[in-house]
């Protein structure tokens, strides 16, 4: 808001139009004329691309700025706990996600335009590990008397329970497994999600007052009708834990199994080795986990029929540790319809698998499973593919056989609807609207992989949205349109309240300040009932690198975590955790590489370079995150230097004359 006319200096005012002017210059010339314009700086909060790329919607810039020391916690709170609280507004599993998330946030990081991305996962792992060490707990909200039955205790169901308990709603989680965790426990091997870490992050949610019913299958042990009577809402978060078979002739052979079943048998401790040559069909994260586990388990020869891998995976038997003491390296091949560089799995995961001795062949399409006289698969027939013109086509006459004793399909997943058949769609999933409500089923909701199988971070983000939807349902509120940039945003007003700097009371119906009774004028920039010259566009805009002043940032290498990726010779029996976290010192140093895109990080450039001394630091007792500098508008000539030298794009020439 501009200064009142009575306080403006005549020498610093000008008329955009003179008498009898009836045409205007082209817009660019009109805004910037020589060394001045009729525009003055405003402070514009936008969403950084890391956060816009995060399916969980974490306030990544926020907790990085806390770690680096720019944003200060409230009195009595350590920066470590403050960063944990900010991180877990969106995601209650920072220690796990810091280890296994493929980090689309890092792909979107604007720092890639300088030298290398910020190691967001590494900082998140430190936040999560430190929280477990310090015993930080979650608090439930004031009880509302409403209750939600959550079917599925995986990442989506648990994250939804966490968000709902923060709102004060009671939750009961029903899961048909012995352990909670879903795919985090049964789908991802323990050397990637250490069980003590996973258990600690799950227990923290349960201690909020979440009731748990394990070994309880909805539709069999308890009916949906009973759930409907017991709870005010029902959430399907059952995941997609049934793997799709190969849709080719011979694909249902007894030694053709799914990747989901293979990993589940391993994580339950039943599968101790593989037999013969293993061929995995896929290209995504699940297929990489399967081949990496197979290489670690190793191969045993001359095995009894009952101990063949498929019999163990299908639950007919379990391996005896004594019987499989002598093992050798397994022959493991991964094939994908996509070229290797186009596979869905993260590049570093593919590189790790190759280092561990996995053979990977891309651009191959499964054609037929070749059976022996006993009906077992003995080879997988594949054909080469060409991607000329962008669309994949099979090359005629290019078929050849890959010998196999075990074929694992990791090409997709569906849900298990035994006892809940009425909710499945044609794809073996559940239909829901954009708010994760099940159409024509009031009080029923669905989120996570059962809606669309994707990443762990995706289902955690969906859990936040569906919890918000259920809360609106309980309050009989109409669902509003979700923001264009649908993430957990930094809120300046909340920050001002936390710092004791909340604006004065404002009464739009007749406050004397707005009507100007006491001073004969309307409100101005001197008034304290509004946050002046600040605009929040974070729900609508993501700030790209070309809006930053990249010249401010020096070249600084990323502080990388140490990863224990075994070689092909070392992989047998290697089940130690692969990722070692950063030290506190390195964590802070890595956080300082964040460019704080779209939010001031207090570099002082605007103050130093302003030729009119118009930009100034606010007083210390008025300063908080996002309110570090202000402008004397009676001094500003609109030269836009402050905007040009702002590294983060927080300053824009937006105010009128």
Question: pLDDT tens digits, residue range 232-274?
Answer: 999 999 999 899 999 999 999 999 999 999 999 999 999 999 9
Question: Is pLDDT above 80 for 387?
Answer: yes
Whether residue 252 is found in the same domain as residue 396: yes
Q: What does the pLDDT look like over 103-127, one tens digit per residue?
A: 999 999 999 999 999 999 999 999 9
| Mean pLDDT of the 340-354 span | 92
Q: Determine, yes or no, domain membership for 506.
A: yes
Contacts of 236 (CB under 8 A, 6+ apart): 151, 152, 420, 423, 430, 438, 444, 445, 446, 447, 450
Whether residue 186 is found in the same domain as residue 140: yes
| Rounded CA separation 366/369 (Å) | 8
Sign of CA dihedral 523, 524, 529, 531: positive
Q: Determine, yes or no, domain membership for 172.
A: yes
Helix, strand or coil, per DSSP, at residue 480: coil
Question: Is pLDDT above 80 for 352?
Answer: yes
Whether residue 518 is found in the same domain as residue 530: yes
Q: Determine, yes or no, domain membership for 430.
A: yes
What average pLDDT is seen over the chain?
Answer: 89
Question: Is pLDDT above 80 for 605?
Answer: yes
Whether residue 163 is found in the same domain as residue 312: no
**What band does 326 get if pLDDT is binned at 50, 70 and 90?**
low
Using the 3D structure, point to which of 369, 389, 413 is the last residue of a domain: 413
Question: Is pLDDT above 70 for 399?
Answer: yes
Whether residue 502 is found in the same domain as residue 441: no
Per-residue pLDDT, 518: 53
The domain in which residue 626 lies consists of 5-16+26-46+491-537+599-655
Judge whether 263 and 270 are in contact, CB under 8 Å.
no
Using the 3D structure, point to which of 362, 392, 413 is the last residue of a domain: 413
Whether residue 267 is found in the same domain as residue 234: no
Whole-model pTM: value is 0.89
Q: Determine, yes or no, domain membership for 74.
A: yes
Question: Is pLDDT above 80 for 154?
Answer: yes
More confident residue, 515 or 636: 636
Whether residue 357 is found in the same domain as residue 289: yes
| Mean pLDDT of the 467-472 span | 97
Lowest mean pLDDT segment, chosen from 19-33, 302-316, 499-513, 573-587 = 19-33
Per-residue pLDDT, 323: 53
Per-residue pLDDT, 521: 47
**What band does 460 get if pLDDT is binned at 50, 70 and 90?**
very high
**What band does 503 get if pLDDT is binned at 50, 70 and 90?**
confident
Whether residue 392 is found in the same domain as residue 248: yes
| Mean pLDDT of the 344-368 span | 94
The enclosing domain of 166 has a CATH number of: 3.50.50.60
**What band does 501 get if pLDDT is binned at 50, 70 and 90?**
confident
**What band does 526 get if pLDDT is binned at 50, 70 and 90?**
low
Using the 3D structure, point to which of 394, 413, 432 is the last residue of a domain: 413
Whether residue 94 is found in the same domain as residue 151: yes
Per-residue pLDDT, 38: 74
Whether residue 166 is found in the same domain as residue 221: yes
Q: What does the pLDDT look like over 139-153, one tens digit per residue?
A: 999 999 999 999 999
**What band does 5 get if pLDDT is binned at 50, 70 and 90?**
very low
Contacts of 593 (CB under 8 A, 6+ apart): 111, 118, 119, 556, 558, 559
Number of domains comprising the chain: 3
Whether residue 507 is found in the same domain as residue 634: yes
Q: Determine, yes or no, domain membership for 165.
A: yes
| Mean pLDDT of the 463-472 span | 97
Question: Is pLDDT above 50 for 657?
Answer: no
Whether residue 320 is found in the same domain as residue 270: yes
Q: What is the 3-state secondary structure (H, E, C) of 221-252?
A: CECHHHHHHHCCEEEECCCCCEECCCCCCCCC
Q: Determine, yes or no, domain membership for 543.
A: no
Per-residue pLDDT, 1: 36
Q: Determine, yes or no, domain membership for 336.
A: yes
Q: Determine, yes or no, domain membership for 479.
A: no
**What band does 301 get if pLDDT is binned at 50, 70 and 90?**
confident
* DSSP states along 397-427: T--EEEE-SEEEE-S-EE---TT-GGG--TT
């Amino acid at each position: 808001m501009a200064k009142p006319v009575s306080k403006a200096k005549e020498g610093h005012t000008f008329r955009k139009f003179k008498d009898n002017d009836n045409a205007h210059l082209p817009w660019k010339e009109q805004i910037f004329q020589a060394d001045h314009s009729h525009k003055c700086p405003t402070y514009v909060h936008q969403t950084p691309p890391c956060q816009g790329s995060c399916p969980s919607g974490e306030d990544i810039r926020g907790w990085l700025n806390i770690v680096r020391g720019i944003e200060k916690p409230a009195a009595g709170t350590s920066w470590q706990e403050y960063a944990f609280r900010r991180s877990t507004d969106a995601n209650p599993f920072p220690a796990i996600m810091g280890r296994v998330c493929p980090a689309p946030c890092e792909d979107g990081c604007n720092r890639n335009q300088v030298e290398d991305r910020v190691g967001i996962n590494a900082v998140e792992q430190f936040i999560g590990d430190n929280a477990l060490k310090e015993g930080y707990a979650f608090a439930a909200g004031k009880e509302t008397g409403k209750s939600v039955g959550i079917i599925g205790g995986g990442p989506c169901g648990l994250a939804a329970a966490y968000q709902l308990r923060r709102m004060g709603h009671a939750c009961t989680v029903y899961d048909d497994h012995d352990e909670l965790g879903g795919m985090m426990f049964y789908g991802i091997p323990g050397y990637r999600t250490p069980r003590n870490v996973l258990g600690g992050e799950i227990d923290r949610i349960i201690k909020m007052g979440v009731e748990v019913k394990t070994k309880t299958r909805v539709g069999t042990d308890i009916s949906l009708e009973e759930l409907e009577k017991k709870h005010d809402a029902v959430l399907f978060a059952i995941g997609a834990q049934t793997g799709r078979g190969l849709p080719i002739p011979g694909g249902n052979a007894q030694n053709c199994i799914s990747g989901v079943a293979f990993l589940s048998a391993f994580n339950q401790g039943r599968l101790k080795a593989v037999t013969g040559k293993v061929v995995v069909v896929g290209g995504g994260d699940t297929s990489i986990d399967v081949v990496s586990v197979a290489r670690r388990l190793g191969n045993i020869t001359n095995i009894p029929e009952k101990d063949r891998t498929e019999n163990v995976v299908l639950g007919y038997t379990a391996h005896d540790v004594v019987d499989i003491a002598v093992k050798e390296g397994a022959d493991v091949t991964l094939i994908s319809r996509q070229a290797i560089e186009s596979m869905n799995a993260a590049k570093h995961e593919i590189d790790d698998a190759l280092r561990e001795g996995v053979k990977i062949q891309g651009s191959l399409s499964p054609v037929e499973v070749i059976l022996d006289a006993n009906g077992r698969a003995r080879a997988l027939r594949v054909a080469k593919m060409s991607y000329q013109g962008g669309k994949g086509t099979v090359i005629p006459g290019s078929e050849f056989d890959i010998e196999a004793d075990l074929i694992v399909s990791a090409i997709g997943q569906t849900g298990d609807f035994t006892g809940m058949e009425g909710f499945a769609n044609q794809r073996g999933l559940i239909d829901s609207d954009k708010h994760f409500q099940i159409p024509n089923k009031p009080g029923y909701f669905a989120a996570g992989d059962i809606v669309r199988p994707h990443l762990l971070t995706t289902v955690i983000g969906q859990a936040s949205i569906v919890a918000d939807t259920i809360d609106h349902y309980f309050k009989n509120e109409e669902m509003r349109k979700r923001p264009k940039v649908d993430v957990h945003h930094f809120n300046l007003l909340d920050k001002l309240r936390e710092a004791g700097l909340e604006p004065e009371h404002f009464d739009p119906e007749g406050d004397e300040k707005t009507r100007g009774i006491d001073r004969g004028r309307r409100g101005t920039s001197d008034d304290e009932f509004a946050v002046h010259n600040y605009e929040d566009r974070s729900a609508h805009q993501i700030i790209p690198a070309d809006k930053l002043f990249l010249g401010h940032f020096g070249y600084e290498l990323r502080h990388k975590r140490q990863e224990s990726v075994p070689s092909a010779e070392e992989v047998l029996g290697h089940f130690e955790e692969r990722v070692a976290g950063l030290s506190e010192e390195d964590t802070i140093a890595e956080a300082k590489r964040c460019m704080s895109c779209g939010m001031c990080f207090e570099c002082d450039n605007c103050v130093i370079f302003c030729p009119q001394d118009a930009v100034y630091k606010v007083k210390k007792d008025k300063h908080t995150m996002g309110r570090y500098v202000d402008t004397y508008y009676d001094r500003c000539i609109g030269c836009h230097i402050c905007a040009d030298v702002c590294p983060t794009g927080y300053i824009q020439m937006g105010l009128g004359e």
